[in-house]
Amino acid sequence: MVSLLITVIVVALIFDYINGFHDSANAIATTVSTGVMSLAAAVILAGVFNFVGAIYGTAVAKFIASGIADAGNVDQLVVLAALLGASVWNLITWWYGIPSSSSHALIGGIAGAVIAHAGWGAVKWQGIWERVLVPLVVSPVLGFLIALLVMILAFWVVRKMRPGTVNRGSRLMQLVSACTFSFSHGSNDAQKVMGIITLALVAFVSTHGASLPPWMEDIRGWFLPHSHVVNGKTVNDVPHWVMFSCAMAMALGTMAGGKRIIKTMGAKIYRINPLQGFAAQTSGTAVILTASHMGIPISTTHCISASIMGAGVSKRISAVRWGVAINILIAWILTLPLSALVAYGCMRTLRAIFGYPV
């Protein structure tokens, strides 16, 4: 079944690439929309900082690898079905220019595939509640409030400055905040695919550990994850080759860009200026880096969307196009269950194709 493992890894890296161009708008939409950088320059810069952020740590990856389901309830078909379910949802929302969450699509995909394989009890619902559902609500609220407070403070600081001076300074600050946000985006989003590849490797070892191919035994030390117990819980370390592969896939995907979602993020929600772009990106960076440090897989899309709304509300409530915001909110709510449903269907289909009972 080594060929199936390789297929899963390839599909995971493709998903990471799709995640990059689907979520590239998160990091660069405000910068492009305000004219601080061209689209070409912005996606290259975002890709570089995505790569650096992706190798920043592995706390989120470890949660994905062991916090949603035990490796004993996962096999290669489960991981493949999860990736297919998440990818289908990502492509649908990308096509329609809806900034949905790739993170929640992947987590929903894992849950749906595990349910199809081993039943509802195989999913670690407490982990999903504490690390996914609660942050689903809290992180955008924090992004909104921090962006609003940053804008209030910024208005107070620049109240006596000339508009031209404020605009030039804001453009420079937004350039810096775009880099930090891209870094934070990589630190959270790329780790999710690291986690699912690690989960696939752990599942492969648990099934075929006694009969690994000779070539895999020879490179076992660096190719396969190492497991150890922390506070009574099994934690799987992420191999370095997985880290760098996922970092590169996301960086290349980001450089491919996502013009459809950039238009929504940068103009349809609220047409922001450079100072507001700086506030939105700075608040999003603060929330995402904190979550990455704590090993919480939050949605960068949710954070930056809410932060843009917070920056827009600082001017006046009616400045935000709430109709568009409501459509985005609906996509947020539907992402977890619909990606889980698609992954459930993919798992049933794969089991039929490979001759397993359905």
Quick: pLDDT tens for 235-277.
Answer: 778 999 999 999 999 888 888 765 554 554 444 444 667 788 8
CA-CA distance, 74 to 97, in Å (whole number)? Answer: 33
> ∠ CA 301-305-310 to the nearest 5 degrees?
145
Q: Burial level of 207, CB count in 10 A (0-12/13-18/19+)? A: middle
- For residue 291, the model assigns a pLDDT of 93
CA-CA distance, 27 to 179, in Å (whole number)? Answer: 8
CA-CA distance, 212 to 300, in Å (whole number)? Answer: 38
Q: 257 vs 77, 119, 253, 260, 298, CA distance in Å?
A: 30, 38, 7, 9, 21
Q: pTM value?
A: 0.83
Quick: pLDDT tens for 164-222.
Answer: 787 788 888 888 888 898 899 889 888 889 999 998 998 888 777 667 878 787 888 88
CA-CA distance, 358 to 12, in Å (whole number)? Answer: 24
- For residue 269, the model assigns a pLDDT of 45
Nearby residues of 335 by Cβ (< 8 Å), 6 or more positions away: 89, 93, 100, 101, 104, 105, 108
Beta bridge mates, 69:
123
- For residue 112, the model assigns a pLDDT of 95
| Max Cα-Cα span within the chain | 73
Q: What one-character DSSP code corresponds to residue 101?
A: -
The residue behind tokens 């670690």 is 124
Q: Which residues in the chain show pLDDT less than 50? A: 261, 264-270, 358
